[in-house]
Amino acid sequence: MSAQPIRVLVTGAAGQIAYSLLFSIAKGDVFGKDQPIVLLLLDISPMLPVLDGVVMELQDCALPLLKEVVSTDKEEVAFKDLDVAILVGSMPRRDGMERKDLLKANVAIFKSQGGALDKFAKKTVKVLVVGNPANTNCLIAAKSAPSIPKENFSCLTRLDHNRACSQVAIRCSVPATHVKNVIIWGNHSSTQYPDVHHCKVNMAGSDLPCFEAVKDDAWLKGDFIATVQQRGAAVIKARKLSSAMSAAKAICDHLRDIWSGTPEGEFISMGVYSTGNRYGVPEDLVYSFPVQIKDKSWKIVDGLDINDFSKSRMDASAAELIEERDMALSTLAV
């Protein structure tokens, strides 16, 4: 095996998303079956004993591609010479916590981690922000790492994308792989807009527009959107824990697509830097768009028709992101 190992960081590494994620990465499901990996696991000091247990389990998996596992609570160790950073750890919302207090706590975390990326990581590092509020955390990290191109930063909306694909697939009684080109526009929050106007469903061997395949416009414009928007809350209500298995799968999908590219004629959703987009989304946000990926670079899919129904929902999510951004930047300035 001649390939050089890549250095992959997971933060919040003692948490439940990481627990579902690390095996898939170490096994080669994300970066390829011949790509050796050094895993760096970062968490806060009180979680280090738990992290020791995670390291033991990774060792006990006896995986051929996993060359080394480093667990730490120090950013200068965790961020050194990184090829990939998966920023899962964030301050979760506690009962009775104001949104601005949550933002303030997370701004501090992602400012610090952005600074560590700037100082210690490779300039080619690919950064995926998962910790919520993911879009704004991603923007803060990118702004705090001025020497790393903004294009190298993205946030996770693939879970929402997968949820939307799956809802359509279940409705049409086809496998989820038969549904392509759904779009998540905007914020990874309940204002996100799952858009199926450009979606195709493969039924009986031919690709049909989603509205033709589903044959229920009221559902697609109503309950479908609400279900995808509220799915995270529904999982918490049922499991008393937030989505972990499905979030980990979405992280794998997102990174595999960055690494290997998207299939011809297909696009996926991810939160990326909005500046220069052609959909009238305000500049200087991290906003979820339809993207195609080639040679580890994404580009926003241009030229999709946007009707008034879609535009109003895209605008509402942008308005929320502007409010979040301005609140976050005001705490940065203090």
Query: Catalytic amino acids?
Result: 188
99 is in an annotated binding site: yes
| Token pair listed for 121 | 């990581």
265 is in an annotated binding site: no
The answer to whether 85 and 128 have CB atoms below 8 angstroms apart is: yes
7 is in an annotated binding site: no
* Three-class secondary structure of residue 270 per DSSP: strand
Q: Which amino acid, 272?
A: V
94 is in an annotated binding site: no
278 is in an annotated binding site: no
| Token pair listed for 170 | 């279940």
| Token pair listed for 198 | 């450009």
Residue 209 CA: distances (Å) to CA of 195, 199, 200, 206, 312: 12, 6, 5, 10, 22
Peptide bond into 133 cis (omega under 30): yes
The answer to whether 259 and 31 have CB atoms below 8 angstroms apart is: yes
Residue 138 CA: distances (Å) to CA of 40, 87, 166, 271: 20, 9, 26, 9
Determine the Cα–Cα distance for residues 195 and 225; give it in Å rounded to an integer.
Answer: 8
Determine the Cα–Cα distance for residues 139 and 326; give it in Å rounded to an integer.
Answer: 11
313 is in an annotated binding site: no
223 is in an annotated binding site: no
239 is in an annotated binding site: no
**Known binding-site residue numbers:** 43, 93, 99, 106, 130-132, 163
**Known binding-site residue numbers for substrate:** 93, 99, 132, 163
**Known binding-site residue numbers for NAD(+):** 43, 106, 130-132
